[in-house]
Amino acid sequence: MATAATNVTSNGFTANWTDVSGATGYRIDVATNSSFKANSFVNGYHNLNVGNATGWNVTGLKPNTIYYYRVRAYNNAGTGGTSNIISVTTVAGPTPTPTPTPTPKPHRH
């Protein structure tokens, strides 16, 4: 159900998944551990209810870091099983442009 991430940047990505027949909404987990251990969830992205969307912009991430996401569909009957897990590596941060050192002007006497 979960599909590859798109719009990957140094601090976020768009998580994507396919529509599940009969679902009224989805919940997403994003973590830094593929086992989704309790202390590895990204702040704000643990069982996040994203409504009836098939994509979600995940932001506030660290550059050059591997993240994992998974999705669950829900409806009035309850919540479905957890999807497959997708891994995403955020891109390394932009290289800072070096500031040119001004050449000292020779002093005239």
pLDDT in tens, the chain (109 residues): 999 999 999 999 999 999 999 999 999 999 999 999 999 999 999 999 999 999 999 999 999 999 999 999 999 999 999 999 999 999 997 766 667 777 777 777 7
Residue 52 included in any domain: yes
Strands (DSSP E) found in 1-109: 2-6, 12-17, 25-31, 48-51, 55-59, 66-75, 78-82, 86-89
Angle, alpha carbons 8-14-15 (nearest 5°): 120
| Alpha carbon distance 32, 62 (integer Å) | 10
Q: Which amino acid is at 11?
A: N
- Give this prediction's pTM: 0.84
CATH code assigned at 69 = 2.60.40.10
Residue 95 included in any domain: no
Residue 17 included in any domain: yes
Residue 98 included in any domain: no
Q: What is the pLDDT of residue 85?
A: 98
Residue 39 included in any domain: yes
Residue 65 included in any domain: yes
Q: Are 27 and 79 in contact (CB under 8 A)?
A: yes
Q: Which domain holds residue 65?
A: 2-89
Q: Number of structural domains, the chain?
A: 1
Q: What is the pLDDT of residue 96?
A: 66
Residue 58 included in any domain: yes
Q: What is the pLDDT of residue 93?
A: 79
